[in-house]
Structure 1
């Protein structure tokens, strides 16, 4: 028998005699992480072409790539030789389960898809929820829950998880930055967690994030962000890095039918407001504007809609768009996003607060690199109201 035919017969014998041949021993969960497809496509080979070179059928290659078949040692070595890589590149044992702090709104339960990140010495499990969660690949599945802790079986590469930064903040441009990192290799990954500015800072203070985006204007000092950082993270060295400025003001209906021009119109009581939650930067600004118009705290409570709160800039704009309110404090991009009008009142800093120990984190550095990208800046400016100068530059260190 010719040598090539002997090889094919030998390989066929390996497959047929293996207890893992095709579906003979199958499991809904493969005991291996299989990267064969990625390396095959990198070599520009079809399944049939790789099978021909390796003495296997196209169907056998498909079974191995999908994890339905675990190859014998001999087959794995031959596939690696054909592709010019190591066996460890093609096949790897799954990472062992890890223990993580549950950071979902409700109680933890088994079988939940989560994203993972290491903050300090601990792991965080962030559940994938809602429509966005259905469109995002999970890092792991919860297998056991015990109070605030969960056991998670990782689905991805451990190295990717260690390069992942959790960034909290209210500006969806942070989410846009995170998505940019998904399209390009910046050496790190970012998980954006929407949160109002004060909540973002407190999440950072609890050790549940690497960085916080914030816009908190202090009317007493006329300074942005630094006073709040001193108050919430006192005793830690925190780097305040410039991201961008944005235009803040009042979101109103198309055509501005009530002719709203500023806080004095709100003081009249004829304009129905929708407000942001306590700790949101836009609510802080609204109170500052009303103070300047002579509307003090006790009187503000009686303004129509002042005590009606929503949790995000887009929710505030949506309330105006749906006729539930006549005006809402917020940034220009939120008004533009829903085809509303906007009354500009104040330009404001939006900074990234990063504790000193996380400044060099790969995910944080990747976010800053992406923020400096001309392509991202062009896209962000198109959202409306943003002025982008020197993103990622150190503004000050707050201790």
Structure 2
């Protein structure tokens, strides 16, 4: 038999039968009975011991109400694509050869980011989409930095990924629910404060920006801020959840921290967020109200990139207090003193809602009863308004 007609080795096939079966709530025995094959055959197929015939694959897909390619797909043979490298300056780019990267298609652009930008833990748990194989010389320092990437999975699956910039750790949970709902789709969360997330969205680097900024004058969440920074005609705003933000302190609050004025004491050390983060804006407002300047606070310039990083610094004894969300305090066994309730909204370019293959499915996923129940079980979340579309256009100023 010639090489081109040789049967495809099982190791070259991405086999999702087990994941899809479990997502449908079926046992191996139930799937076997409905498909007209034995339980042993289902077990062997899931274990990649042999590939099903076309007829068997069609019956399995019919029972599971999906396409055959949702169950079995060829693993990428190394397709190479060209994309824009984000978050790396030209001087550092040479060191990225053979480095692992995530890839996303945002509109007409192909965006490439190093997996290491996901953070120390996720770097080892999130699979890469490809490896950098080449960095063509740029024509100018200001031109986009282009790279060649050899893909490690199918381009069709990569196109279904939803890239989210924001600081809500529950976004990764949403990604897992999306995979159950639409096999092959995924969510990649890039940690960023509210201002940075909005700017990344405006630059066309992500599909979604997560925002939590409370307007000082009106007390309204997000919309006044977004109206100042975005064209209302081109974006949709959907609520992800409401949460409480406040002081995170070690169990028992050994420093007796109750209000912003306490941060000026010499025995108190703060861990802070970057400028533009919702937590930083809240902190600065409270310090101003208390008549305290940032320079008076020990640790004010100690900046970390996320709510979890703040909680970890307090739990490890590197700081006595930081501003963050209740869920992060719960995750690290800290005490939490709420300061305000605020909404975490998702901002999406209106055009992408129709053109992206999985974005609407992502928004449908977050309103599902199972997802909302699990998010609330994390602690500190209120999902009663999850999925509510907010009116970004301000009729009062029209």
Q: Which runs of 5+ in 1 are unaligned?
A: 1-13, 23-29, 51-60, 66-77
Runs of 4+ in 1 over 4 A off after TM superposition: 19-22, 30-34, 36-47, 78-85, 87-96, 267-270
2:287 to 270, 285, 290: 290
Compute the displacement of 1:398 (Å).
4.3
CA spacing shift, 1:273–1:19, aligned 2, 3 Å: closer
**Residue 25 (structure 1) aligns with:** none
Cα distance between partner residues in 1 of 2:183 and 2:9: 31
**Is residue 112 of structure 1 aligned with residue 107 of structure 2?**
no
**Is residue 246 of structure 1 aligned with residue 240 of structure 2?**
no
TM-score (norm 1): 0.75
1:319 to 305, 313, 338: 313
Q: Decide which structure has the larger Cα Rg and report it.
A: 1
Task: Give CA-to-partner distance per residue, 1:178-226, whole Å, 9 cap, x none.
Answer: 1222344378432211111111111111110111011112213433222
For these two proteins, the number of residue pairs brought into alignment is 350
TM-score (norm 2): 0.76
Deviates more, 1:264-273 or 1:313-322: 264-273
Counterparts of residues 271-310 of structure 1 (less than 5 Å): 271-295=268-292, 299-310=293-304
CA spacing shift, 1:83–1:258, aligned 2, 3 Å: closer
Cα distance between partner residues in 2 of 1:388 and 1:262: 28
**Is residue 97 of structure 1 aligned with residue 94 of structure 2?**
no
Compute the displacement of 1:347 (Å).
0.5
Compute the displacement of 1:300 (Å).
2.5
**Is residue 338 of structure 1 aligned with residue 324 of structure 2?**
no
Contact conserved, 2:240 with 2:387, CA < 8 A, in 1? yes
Compute the displacement of 1:257 (Å).
1.4
Cα distance between partner residues in 1 of 2:368 and 2:252: 35
CA spacing shift, 1:396–1:102, aligned 2, 3 Å: same
Which secondary structure state, in structure 1, belongs to the residue aligned with residue 362 of structure 2?
helix
**Residue 134 (structure 2) aligns with:** 144
CA spacing shift, 1:142–1:252, aligned 2, 3 Å: same
**Residue 356 (structure 1) aligns with:** 350
Contact conserved, 2:163 with 2:188, CA < 8 A, in 1? yes
Task: Give CA-to-partner distance per residue, 1:252-277, whole Å, 9 cap, x none.
Answer: 11101122222232345543211111
CA spacing shift, 1:191–1:135, aligned 2, 3 Å: same
CA spacing shift, 1:149–1:346, aligned 2, 3 Å: same
**Residue 258 (structure 1) aligns with:** 255
**Residue 64 (structure 2) aligns with:** none
Which secondary structure state, in structure 1, belongs to the residue aligned with residue 204 of structure 2?
coil
Cα distance between partner residues in 1 of 2:338 and 2:75: 56
**Residue 368 (structure 2) aligns with:** 373
Cα distance between partner residues in 2 of 1:292 and 1:166: 37
Contact conserved, 1:262 with 1:343, CA < 8 A, in 2? no
CA spacing shift, 1:92–1:210, aligned 2, 3 Å: closer
Compute the displacement of 1:162 (Å).
2.5
Cα distance between partner residues in 2 of 1:213 and 1:149: 27
1:156 to 153, 156, 177: 153
Deviates more, 1:200-209 or 1:140-149: 140-149
Task: Give CA-to-partner distance per residue, 1:335-375, whole Å, 9 cap, x none.
Answer: 11111111111111110011211233333222222211222
Cα distance between partner residues in 2 of 1:92 and 1:341: 47
1:126 to 91, 113, 119: 113
Contact conserved, 2:14 with 2:75, CA < 8 A, in 1? no
Cα distance between partner residues in 2 of 1:385 and 1:341: 12
Q: Which runs of 5+ in 2 are unaligned?
A: 19-31, 60-67, 139-144
Compute the displacement of 1:382 (Å).
1.9
